[in-house]
Structure 1
Amino acid sequence: MSLNNALDALLESAVGNADLPGVIATVADRDGVIYERACGMRAVGGSTPMSMDTFVWFASLSKAVTTTAAMQLVEQGKLDLDAPAAKLLPEIGKIQVRTGWNADGSPILRAPKSPVTLRNLLTHTSGFAYEFFNEGVIREQESTGTPNVVSGTHATMNRSLVRDPGTAWEYSIGIDWAGRMVEAASGLRLRDYFAKNIFAPLGMGDVTFQANEEQLSRAAAMHARLPDGSLTAIPFGIPPDAEVDMGGHALSGRVPDYLRFCRAILNGGVLDGNRILAATTVELMGMNHIGDISVPNQIKTFMPMLSNDCDLHPGVDLKWGLGFVLNVQATPEGRAPGTLAWAGLPNVYYWIDRKTGVTVVIATQIMPFWDAKVRSMCDEFERLVYRHL
């Protein structure tokens, strides 16, 4: 069976078994797109089919784009990976480390032992944390009335650090702060910087922080997996007039456009003759930037409606580059050591295997994250890709 036929059969089975309402999957090598398929419906029980033009929330797939913007400015000498971020953003220098709780429930705070740097922000070693993976952040938000991260407010970014910078890896809002640094260094709002320096050169015109009516008319519904395994459509949307362009989670768009971004990284920073990064910068981004610190395979959820507990790559050591998780060993499914990858809350996934020369983007719109049925499909998709290469 050919690769296309094998992948078609897998996606059709997942949709036919009602494991997923719909899915979009794309594969490319260094020469171009070798597979793309939209399967199923935009909404469970609906009649509008998924298509390559279906609009989806990318969520944390945004992080690699923001990191790319930051690294463009590092190339230009406008940002420094290791200078204190407070030189550009004085407000980040005022944020303190939470060490405990006062009797009235307010946080006990102290100054961090070292300043937060851009490298810390890009590698999730800044000391910031996300509420859905850190119970203390939830408690602080409740005690101080701080809004959650999806609010896109300045207030949500001014949360306390949970530890000193550079001491551990914890998934966080660091990339949102990195986006603020891009704005400060470039003089442009993040949406405008992306449009000019990444989306236009790569032909990603349908990717945006602010979806318009036409884009929303093509959007897939967001779904929740219920305890009995069934799916239901749920209301969900990024705030339309957010105070901050949240570079960590707020982009939406078409999967084929995001694949163009991945293809540029796969090809060393260039696509169709348009270069967005130097090849040496892409190499730098694919190196381990957290030293002896490791990314945990198992990540516990504290908001089960948003994420399940995650077991990222059992038995495989994980590190973090600039913008990507890196698997130190080959995965059982086939990706080579040093593959660049990450994912987003509505079960959207990508990987960029520069050694083998293949990149994949798979998107559903199902929460919570790390859905067992989506993961099973993705793992088999990966096995099939490598089996046929």
Structure 2
Amino acid sequence: MALGLALGAPTVVPAAAREAVTPARFTPAGLERIRAQLRGDVAQGRIPGAVLLITRGNGTLFQEAFGQQDVAAARPMRRDSIFRIASMTKPLVSVAAMQLVEQGKIQLSDPVATYLPELQGLKVAVERRDAGGQAATELVDARPITIQDLFRHTSGLTYHFLGQMNPVRRAYADQDIAGLYGPTASEMLSRLKAIPLMYQPGSTFEYSVSTDILGHVVERVTGKTLDAALDEMVLKPLGMRDTVFQVAGPRLARLANARPGDPDMETMNWLDLTKPPKRFSGGAGAASTAQDYGRFMRMLLNEGELDGVRLLSPQTVRYMMSDHLGPVRGPIYLPGPGHGFGLGFAVRADDGVATTIGHKGEAWWGGITGTRFWVDPANDLGVVLMIQAPNQRNYYQSVMRNLVYGAMGRASR
């Protein structure tokens, strides 16, 4: 099939009437509790600093910076500080890929090998035991990975740093499959071809380099590098001026860093982002600001449109924010109880069940560096917390949700 197709420009449309929502109001006392929490955490050394932004579909409600952008350099945090967003890159790439779906250039049911022939004829590693109880690994033919499998992490691919080390994860580590500065995209795909899948595609949720592969599909279909394709399809139309795959030049003075001695500093070294990458990682390779990501959240809250520019149809956004897993789960189910997974992010399936306050219909995800966002369409609410403290990410996933929802007063009518 013909690849290298021209990108379709986003459609400029009049602002459409939105479905009825009940926008949240925040109490002064509730917002002050949030401020006090973040100031206290900075003072105690839990985090070097943070930027918190709360938005509605029509604009920002709250944004403040706390603490230090760079402790070693004694630079205070700024509202426009730049953060390594890690896996919050995934929703950006997923929106670009869904634009290609809307344009008829790819389909969710397509085998990935249609676009990346390097991934044809993959095998699955299956552990079997003989009559004496001895374990042996057998390689069996894999069902073709589909584009939908990449979006929802049911491809059978993995990350080397999640779960117990085994031969497959060891091969990922040895071959630097998730690396940004080792193999090129072509080399990474060739190396993946030689490594068995963890599971049969479609059978198991396994968080993985799937969105990296989706980004390479975007590259093949558009004929552009991922940074250029994403810039044209998502970032420029949304006015996300500081979302980049390399932080260089004047932007370096705004780059936030983890506190020296952070126990997960290896994560920050993996995602250096101050030098040119060998390949553009659609799963973890971008940096951004709270303001930029706030514009992305507003687009989702407005069902695909921002400031008169439409990226996706309302139907497509709703489809992305629907559960695509059904009963499928896995040994390490990162969305957690009460959640499914949509096309690029977790989606909340119930008001209850989960251990954090929230609302059915939310979409959310976070980065291993500590960043976190969620959108709650029923409350016309988007929240992004930017921090660079990898070992604190799970703590803030819980505490910030509870603080934000606890700061709400009676909904406006």
Q: TM-score, normalised by structure 2?
A: 0.81
How big is the alpha-carbon RMSD for the aligned residues of Structure 1 and Structure 2? 2.7
CA distance in 2, matches of 1:233, 1:84: 32
CA distance in 2, matches of 1:172, 1:148: 10
Q: Is the contact between residue 21 and residue 40 of structure 1 (CA under 8 Å) also seen in structure 2?
A: yes
Q: Is the contact between residue 68 and residue 77 of structure 2 (CA under 8 Å) also seen in structure 1?
A: yes
CA distance in 1, matches of 2:268, 2:94: 30
**AA in 1 matched with 2:49:** G
Structure 1 residue 295, shift from structure 2 partner: 6.4
Farther-moved stretch of structure 1 (236-245 vs 249-258): 236-245
Which residue is 2:197 aligned to? 161
Secondary structure of residue in 1 paired with 2:405: helix
**AA in 1 matched with 2:244:** T
Secondary structure of residue in 1 paired with 2:179: helix
CA distance in 2, matches of 1:249, 1:233: 11
User: Where do 5+ consecutive residues of structure 1 fail to align?
Assistant: 300-309
Structure 1 residue 29, shift from structure 2 partner: 1.2
Structure 1 residue 233, shift from structure 2 partner: 12
Structure 1 residue 46, shift from structure 2 partner: 5.0
Which residue is 1:110 aligned to? 140
Structure 1 residue 268, shift from structure 2 partner: 0.2
Which residue is 2:169 aligned to? 138
Of residues 20, 36, 41 in structure 1, which corresponds to 2:68?
Answer: 41
Of residues 349, 355, 362 in structure 2, which corresponds to 1:339?
Answer: 362
Which residue is 2:17 aligned to? none
CA distance in 1, matches of 2:64, 2:349: 30
Quick one: structure 1 residues 14 and 26, their matched pair in 2 at CA, closer, same or farther if it must change by over 3 Å?
Answer: same
Quick one: structure 1 residues 162 and 386, their matched pair in 2 at CA, closer, same or farther if it must change by over 3 Å?
Answer: farther
Which residue is 1:13 aligned to? 40
Tell whether 2:163 aligns with 1:128.
no
**AA in 2 matched with 1:326:** V
Farther-moved stretch of structure 1 (77-86 vs 37-46): 37-46
**1:149-202, CA deviations, whole angstroms, 9 ceiling, x for partnerless residues?**
133534445143111100010101111111111111112111111111111111
Farther-moved stretch of structure 1 (157-166 vs 271-280): 157-166
Q: Tell me which structure has the larger Cα radius of gyration.
A: 2
Which residue is 1:384 aligned to? 406
CA distance in 1, matches of 2:177, 2:273: 12
**AA in 1 matched with 2:307:** D
Of residues 273, 276, 291 in structure 2, which corresponds to 1:241?
Answer: 276
Q: Is the contact between residue 43 and residue 233 of structure 1 (CA under 8 Å) also seen in structure 2?
A: no
Which residue is 1:322 aligned to? 343
CA distance in 2, matches of 1:321, 1:293: 12
CA distance in 2, matches of 1:232, 1:66: 24
Quick one: structure 1 residues 326 and 224, their matched pair in 2 at CA, closer, same or farther if it must change by over 3 Å?
Answer: farther
Tell whether 2:215 aligns with 1:179.
yes
User: Where do 5+ consecutive residues of structure 2 fail to align?
Assistant: 1-26, 129-135
Tell whether 2:271 aligns with 1:250.
no
**AA in 2 matched with 1:247:** G
Farther-moved stretch of structure 1 (129-138 vs 243-252): 129-138
Report % sequence identity: 28
Larger RCO: 1 or 2 (CA < 8 Å, sep 6+): 2
Q: How does 1:277-316 map to 2 (within 5 A)?
A: 277-294=312-329, 313=336, 316=337
Q: TM-score, normalised by structure 1?
A: 0.86
Secondary structure of residue in 2 paired with 1:42: strand
Q: Is the contact between residue 358 and residue 401 of structure 2 (CA under 8 Å) also seen in structure 1?
A: no
**AA in 2 matched with 1:139:** R
Structure 1 residue 210, shift from structure 2 partner: 1.9
Q: How does 1:209-220 map to 2 (within 5 A)?
A: 209-220=245-256
Quick one: structure 1 residues 240 and 139, their matched pair in 2 at CA, closer, same or farther if it must change by over 3 Å?
Answer: same
